[in-house]
């Protein structure tokens, strides 16, 4: 076996030599002896020898020679140090050949030692003539000390021969870098000539709702290719609200919506894709990509990863909200640790977005309604093979939209958003839809005033009580006919605009034709609704001059109208401590402030407090009001998005312990029973709080974000 030494002194040399090193390792007759030197060993250059080891190579020797000074004197001294180090190493190594690349002084040091110690040198010529540079002299010197020569061009082979080298030992082999290029997965000319379709995939390994998106992406790519396009995938980030809950991570949840939109816009515009397929699934990922689609405005189709199946605990179907409420029950002493463990292991049994009508599923369902997704986008379970078929069809469909030049802003019209609000009311979607729909509309150039939500709610019956409002789940909505069946019920009373174009290439009317309600227990017939008004209500009053939002369908009947003393907390943590400590009593109104878009910053979800209230058995007697927001998993008299928020001096900042709060959800009012004069006096004495975060992305977000009633969109101050 022949021992072949390779010396590399720079990152560039290693990159070029790597394919050769791999081939030597594969050869049973050769043994690779790897020597690193120069910048690989220098902290100044990032200790790049570690990268070599991470690539799977064994480093046999490290020769220190690089001085901090790159002056002529410093380089000269480095050469001298190298000669000493290589002399010692070559004496130990007993090499049959040394391979050197290029014209750097590290290679010169090694060549000097190898020549004197009669080790044959194979010189890989690293470049062309650089007249007057030190490289020129080094290159010629190494040439004269070498036995074999490998050149990148025929012209340079002739130059080496002109220096007096035996032509039989000078070989024209081409540029080393070509070996790396050959292994890159480059597109063919034919692929580049087809429409380039960006596949925006939110796959990651930490969000349960996104763990299957790699399979969705592969199916989409196949669909695009089948229809004549070239699919090219790039990523979008996603945060799991359930994992981010209860710590500083929740401040980063809502803010990712705009980060997702911004980064997707940057990628799509920089690379000029002809069309896009968006693959989201969880809470902020869906609206973030819808916002991006409206901005970019190239033909776009959405296909989500789908909902998870409901869990089964103690003979009942369960979901994420059951888990949080179980923790509250444990705190109240009504559930033991073993029971909590069972909930932990069973309530989220598959990949996919959480199984009730929480924010992710709300937005995926509303994507269908808006016309940006195909039938089943919001309801087909993540683990069904039907989800893969849907993804393939989405890939095919985007090519049809490209051919017809149907773009997001053709679909995302004012009437489309009115349809979304209507179906939102019928489904009983998450209150977060009242943040996201205005934000998406804003990007589409539509001014969606939340006042419209109450107008639509008054004429729209609530047809579904999906978890957490009831005991049915998205999988059952899917079996009952899905979103299109709900829309068909609503259309019986002409509550929808049906002449709108959609991502199917057809109108709303064409989409929902024949989509019948297969289970009136899951989707109530329009003549027998859960209520004559919609699932969400927008409240106004002296406590919320701009607005507050409540999921009416998840409120106990006895809590639709109530009055009670304010229990005031300036952060979520203090409120949870009081609730679990038994300090909150029936009839109290918990007020959590300074959790709005600016004050948080980031507008944290208050799922922990609402779940604690439920778990403590106070769900039908205690209300919660906040300038923060709620999870779609929250239930009870939970009023969020109170605007203006406390951080900008909104009335919620002026509430004092014991003030009487009056809630009338049927009348759409939210008031504190304090005179205007007293509130004005308190406002004079109010001082803005020092921002909780003053650095990083959250600080930038806080400086640009608007109020919750405007969708917490980012706006540059003029």
Give the residue numbers marked as catalytic: 631
Q: At what angle do helices 451-459 and 414-427 cross, to 10 degrees?
A: 60
HSE, CB side, 13 Å, CA atoms: give it for residue 286: 32
Instruction: Please answer whether residues 332 and 367 qualify as being in contact, where contact means their C-beta atoms are separated by less than 8 angstroms.
Output: no
Residues 6+ apart with CB under 8 A from 170: 149, 151, 157, 160, 161
Q: Which of 632, 36, 21 is nearest to 353 (CA)?
A: 632
Strands 537-541 and 544-550: antiparallel
Helix (H) or strand (E) holding 643: strand 638-643
Tokens, residue 675: 């005179």
CA atoms of 469 and 486, how far apart (whole Å) = 17
CA atoms of 206 and 327, how far apart (whole Å) = 22
CA atoms of 400 and 411, how far apart (whole Å) = 15
Cβ neighbours, 10 Å, residue 180: 13
Burial of 623 (0-12, 13-18, 19+ CB in 10 A): buried
Instruction: Please answer whether residues 365 and 420 qualify as being in contact, where contact means their C-beta atoms are separated by less than 8 angstroms.
Output: no
CA atoms of 571 and 567, how far apart (whole Å) = 12
Tokens, residue 495: 């509550």
Cα of first residue to Cα of last residue in the chain, in angstroms, is 74
7 in helix, strand or coil?
strand
Tracing tokens 């779609």 back to the chain, one arrives at 632
């Amino acid at each position: 076996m022949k021992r072949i030494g390779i010396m590399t002194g720079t990152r560039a040399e290693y990159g070029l030599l790597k394919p050769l090193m791999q081939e030597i390792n594969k050869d049973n007759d050769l043994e690779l002896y790897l020597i690193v030197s120069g910048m690989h060993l220098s902290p100044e250059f990032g200790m790049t020898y570690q990268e070599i080891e991470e690539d799977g190579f064994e480093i046999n020797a490290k020769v220190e020679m690089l001085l901090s000074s790159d002056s002529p004197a410093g380089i000269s001294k480095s050469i001298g140090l190298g000669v000493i180090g290589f002399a010692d190493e070559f004496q130990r190594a007993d090499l049959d050949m040394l391979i050197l690349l290029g014209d750097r002084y590290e290679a010169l040091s090694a060549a000097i030692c190898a020549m004197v110690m009669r080790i044959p040198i194979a010189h890989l010529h690293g470049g062309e003539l650089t007249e007057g540079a030190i490289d020129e002299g080094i290159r010629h010197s190494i040439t004269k000390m070498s036995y074999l020569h490998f050149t990148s061009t025929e012209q340079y082979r002739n130059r080496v021969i002109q220096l007096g080298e035996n032509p039989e030992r000078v070989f024209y082999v081409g540029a080393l870098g070509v070996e790396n290029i050959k292994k890159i997965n480059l597109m063919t000319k034919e692929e580049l000539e087809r429409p380039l379709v960006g596949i925006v995939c939110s796959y990651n390994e930490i969000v349960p709702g996104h763990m299957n998106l790699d399979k969705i992406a592969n199916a989409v790519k196949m669909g695009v290719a089948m229809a004549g396009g070239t699919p090219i995938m790039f990523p979008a980030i996603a945060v799991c609200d359930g994992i981010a809950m209860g710590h500083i991570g929740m401040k980063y949840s809502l803010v990712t919506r705009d980060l997702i939109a911004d980064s997707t816009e940057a990628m799509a515009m920089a690379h000029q894709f002809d069309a896009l397929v968006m693959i989201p699934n969880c809470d902020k990922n869906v609206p973030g990509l819808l916002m991006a689609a409206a901005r970019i405005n190239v033909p776009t189709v959405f296909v989500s990863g789908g909902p998870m199946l409901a869990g089964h605990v103690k003979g009942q179907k369960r979901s994420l909200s059951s888990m949080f409420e179980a923790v509250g029950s444990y705190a109240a002493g009504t559930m033991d640790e073993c029971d909590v463990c069972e909930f932990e292991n069973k309530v989220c049994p598959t990949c996919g977005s959480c199984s009730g009508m929480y924010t992710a599923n709300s937005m995926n369902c509303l994507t269908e309604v808006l016309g940006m997704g195909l039938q089943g986008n919001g309801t087909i379970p993540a683990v069904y093979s039907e989800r893969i078929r849907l993804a393939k069809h989405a890939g095919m469909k985007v090519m049809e939209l490209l051919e017809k030049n149907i773009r997001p802003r053709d679909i995302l019209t004012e009437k489309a958003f009115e349809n979304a609000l209507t179906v939102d009311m019928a489904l009983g979607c998450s209150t977060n839809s009242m943040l996201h729909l205005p934000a998406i509309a804003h990007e589409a150039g539509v001014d969606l005033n939340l006042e419209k939500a109450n107008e639509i709610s008054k004429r729209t019956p609530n047809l579904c009580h999906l978890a957490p409002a009831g005991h049915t789940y998205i999988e059952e909505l899917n079996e009952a006919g899905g979103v299109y069946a709900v829309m068909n019920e609503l259309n019986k009373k002409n509550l929808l605009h049906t002449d709108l174009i959609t991502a199917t290439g057809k109108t709303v009317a064409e989409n929902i034709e024949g989509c019948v309600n297969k289970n009136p227990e899951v989707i109530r017939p329009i003549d027998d609704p859960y209520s004559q008004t919609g699932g969400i209500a927008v409240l106004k009053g002296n406590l919320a001059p701009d607005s507050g939002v409540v999921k009416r369908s998840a409120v106990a009947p006895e809590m639709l109208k109530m009055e009670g003393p304010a229990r005031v907390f300036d952060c979520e943590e203090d409120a949870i401590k009081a609730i679990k400590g038994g300090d909150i009593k029936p009839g109290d109104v918990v007020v959590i402030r300074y959790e709005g878009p600016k004050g948080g910053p980031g507008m944290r979800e208050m799922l922990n407090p609402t779940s604690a209230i439920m778990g403590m058995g106070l769900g039908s007697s205690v209300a919660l009001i906040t300038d923060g927001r709620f999870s779609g998993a929250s239930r009870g008299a939970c009023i969020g998005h109170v605007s203006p928020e406390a951080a900008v001096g909104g009335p919620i900042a002026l509430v004092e312990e014991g003030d009487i709060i009056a809630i009338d959800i049927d009348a759409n009012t939210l008031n504190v029973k304090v005179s205007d004069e007293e509130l004005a006096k308190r406002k004079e004495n109010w001082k803005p709080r020092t921002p909780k975060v003053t650095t990083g992305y959250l600080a930038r977000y806080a400086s640009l974000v608007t109020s919750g009633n405007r969708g917490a969109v980012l706006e540059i101050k003029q």
